[in-house]
Amino acid sequence: MYPKLVVTRILPPDTQARLEELPFELVQWQQDSAMPRDELLRAVKGADALICLLTDKIDTELLDAAGPQLKVIASMAVGFDHIDVEAVKARNIHLGYTPDCLTDATADLTVLLTLAAARRMKEGMLAGANGEWGTWRPTWLCGSQFTRKTVGIIGMGRIGEAVARRLEPFGVKQTLYWGRQQKPDAEKRVVTATFEPDLDTLLSKSDYVIVCCALTPHTREMFTYDKFAKMKKSAIFVNTARGGIVKQDDLIRALQERQIKAAGLDVTTPEPLPTDSPLFHLPNCVVLPHIASATFETRERMASMCVDNVEAAMKNEPLPFKL
């Protein structure tokens, strides 16, 4: 009898073909949508392995439904706020994730989103489509550039550092970063970088505030209206980390009141964001549907790492990408 593997989504084509050749009893959600919770709870019963996404909540209820034979969970994500890590480890279940591989793709899109918000790309595209594009005007749709500006990075991990390195050639004057600790090695690679232990100081000095940290109990809803009020009125706020780091209604208020200049978001609460959300309709907010890692190269690599983790666990070998 083959071990049972549950996969909550169709994987990218190369990895999907590999998956189907493996000696597993494969149970896989075949639709291009999140696997319904009740369906997942039924499917996972008796499973030896599970490949999941960040849209799948891995908690005690699911672990109980699976049963004691569940050996490995491989999450196709770098974040793990959708997983009750303590509950998983308490049952001696191997837990894998996909670190590093999405750093470049996410950093690329973060820079793109920062530029889009700063240069009023949304307003410009709408103006062209709506017939507002008239003769050239010296002050029409003017935004801001990076030259001689201060960038504030919230979380100088792999992605935060990659964003900072990409922005340096634009001529930024200074990169302030905030996090749990100073990163001397990162400062060697990002010559403009300086550790700022006081978040409020970073916010008050930065022309661009870019969120790259993990969602933890410490960072959940850390960006309240009070934090936005400490920023420059010309500041651009960008979040490609997790929507839960921001108190979203407070961000909406800050944008409506022009407390900050503009925002670029790849993550929201909830996801998907309802189409009637003010964020979609504010002229100074660019919203993308959580696509920071959405390159063919990155998604294939993420999926392949999940399969590598499952194969290793089934062979009683250490997981190559262990959380």
Are 96 and 305 in contact, with CB atoms under 8 Å apart?
A: yes
Give the span between the Cα atoms of 103 and 160, in whole angstroms: 9
The answer to whether 290 is a known catalytic residue is yes
**3-class secondary-structure state, position 225:** helix
Domain ranges of the chain: 4-97+296-315, 102-287
Same fold, 4-97+296-315 and 102-287: yes
C-beta neighbour count of 279 within 10 angstroms: 17
| SS (HEC) of 59-88 | CHHHHHHHCCCCCEEEECCCCCCCECHHHH
Give the span between the Cα atoms of 134 and 154, in whole angstroms: 39
Residues 265, 240, 229, CA angle at the centre, nearest 5°?
60
Fold for the domain defined by 4-97+296-315: Rossmann fold (3.40.50)
Give the span between the Cα atoms of 32 and 11, in whole angstroms: 10
Q: What is the pLDDT along the chain (323 residues), one digit of tens a residue?
A: 899 999 999 999 999 999 999 999 999 999 888 999 999 999 999 999 999 999 999 999 999 999 999 999 999 998 888 999 999 999 999 999 999 899 999 999 999 999 999 999 999 999 999 999 999 999 999 999 999 999 999 999 999 999 999 999 999 999 999 999 999 999 999 999 999 999 999 999 999 999 999 999 999 999 999 999 999 999 999 999 999 999 999 999 999 999 999 999 999 999 999 999 999 999 999 999 999 999 999 999 999 999 999 999 999 999 999 98
CATH of domain 102-287: 3.40.50.720
Give the span between the Cα atoms of 59 and 142, in whole angstroms: 48
Q: 121-130 and 103-118 are packed helices; what angle lies between their axes, rounded to 10 degrees?
A: 60
